[in-house]
Amino acid sequence: MSTQTTTTADPMATRLYEELDRLYKAANTSSKLAMNTINVKIAQTPKETIWSLNKSRLYHYFPQVPKEQRKAVPLLLVFALINRPYIFDLRPGNSFIEYMLQQGYEVYLLDWGTPGLEDKDLTFEDFALNYLPRAIRQVQRHSGSHEFSLLGWCIGATLCTIYAAMRPEDGLRNLLLLTAPLDFSNKEAGPFNRWLNTEHYNVDALVDQFGNVPGELIDWGNKMLKPVENFIGNYLKLWDNLDNPAIVESWLAMNTWVTDQTPFPGASFRQWVNEFFREDRLMQNKLMMQGKIVDVANIKANVLNVIADKDHIVPTCQSTSVMDRLTGTHDKLLLQNAGGHIGMMAGSGAKKRVWPQIESWLAKRSTS
């Protein structure tokens, strides 16, 4: 007669082992962080440069589906004049560009580049009605399609709105706005409105001193909107997850983007503060470019306006009121999602929640 013995592990010993393993992984990650030996790859989706003007570059991303599965209408992405546009392509598996390529879109990205002191006199008119139209013509030539879709994020959405209002017959079929700062009538909406509208904020002295406003200065201002979260909570999140390589790599990728600042061209920054924040010229129908009023009622493209309910940089009221002014289009949708100014599109839940909604709307309007 044989006797079978079953050995059950001591739960306390198991917990101790797991805790030691976690501490070992955390210590190992800490040493790698200290020595700067963790290589996080960003902006990895294959692309080619097909056009340039001054510091600006236009990228075309290589398709990832057969030609017969691709959408007929190409998509051009435009980010703000501050920070780098690779937030659209942060890292493999968390890349909006990669996602849209997999859905069959011909994707292009306009990179404004890093302005030098010689670019301090560039204005919103230069970017929206000189650089952007030239890049669009190249998209049309390269793709072979006269019609195209334009997606702008943050100030990039402001520039795309100006373009769409001033060039309604250029072939723009779909205009997608992400957290678009357009309406500055509410002077109490958000800290930026309160800060920039005070008499103590001397924008002329700032621009005269620097020429271009340093990206580090703008980044400091952005972080001061939520100082505890940005200067303490952000690093506590890293500390609490040192034993999780996936979270650490994601944190490092986002931190790389956040700290990769570019200067804000001086003349554009002066215009941004005076003509937009302080005088609300766009929504008041007083913004003049190329001798004409920039009237959003002239926009004829289909419009998707995406806002974030926890956006502390662009409060939702700065984006929503434009919907009533879009009388030139009969196809418009306001889409609110959970999240912040960047997290809504680049956070961990964006691929499951926000990107499919954008793609679903755009797919129906991107056929021949």
Which residues pair with residue 236 across a beta bridge? none
The question of whether 200 is a catalytic residue gets the answer no
In this structure, what token pair is assigned to residue 363? 């797919």
In a domain, 211, yes or no: yes
Please measure the distance between the N-terminal and C-terminal CA atoms of the chain and give it in whole angstroms.
79
Place of tokens 């294959």: 46
pLDDT of residue 186: 87
In a domain, 35, yes or no: no
pLDDT of residue 28: 55
In this structure, what token pair is assigned to residue 47? 């692309």
- Does the CA dihedral 181-266-342-70 come out positive or negative? positive
Least confident of 150-154, 199-203, 231-235, 308-312: 231-235
In a domain, 257, yes or no: yes
In a domain, 29, yes or no: no
- pTM metric for this prediction: 0.87
Region 53-73 average pLDDT: 96
Q: Mind listing the pLDDT tens digit for each residue in 313-335?
A: 999 999 999 999 999 999 999 99
307, 320 contact by CB (below 8 A): yes
The question of whether 311 is a catalytic residue gets the answer yes
Q: Mind listing the pLDDT tens digit for each residue in 277-293?
A: 999 999 999 999 999 99
Structural domain span for residue 58: 47-363
In a domain, 20, yes or no: no
Question: Alpha carbon of 365 to those of 167, 236, 356, 358, 359: distances in Å?
Answer: 20, 43, 14, 11, 10
Per-residue pLDDT band at 236 (split at 50, 70, 90): confident
| Active-site option among 89, 119, 280, 311 | 311
Chain Cα centroid distance, residue 34: 29
Checking if the pLDDT of 21 tops 80, the result is no
Checking if the pLDDT of 117 tops 60, the result is yes
pLDDT of residue 74: 98
Domain count, the chain: 1
The question of whether 60 is a catalytic residue gets the answer no
Least confident of 26-40, 117-131, 164-178: 26-40
Least confident of 84-98, 217-231, 271-285: 217-231
pLDDT of residue 24: 47
In a domain, 38, yes or no: no
Q: What is the CATH number of the domain that holds 186?
A: 3.40.50.1820
Distance separating alpha carbons of residues 1 and 18, to the nearest angstrom = 38
In a domain, 340, yes or no: yes
| Active-site option among 119, 154, 160, 243 | 154
pLDDT of residue 2: 44
In a domain, 3, yes or no: no
Among 172, 85, 101, 161, smallest CA distance to 346 is for 85
Mean pLDDT across the chain, nearest whole number?
89
Residue 228 burial class via C-beta count within 10 angstroms: exposed 0-12, middle 13-18, buried 19 and up: exposed
In this structure, what token pair is assigned to residue 37? 């030996």
Q: Mind listing the pLDDT tens digit for each residue in 258-284?
A: 888 899 999 999 999 999 999 999 999
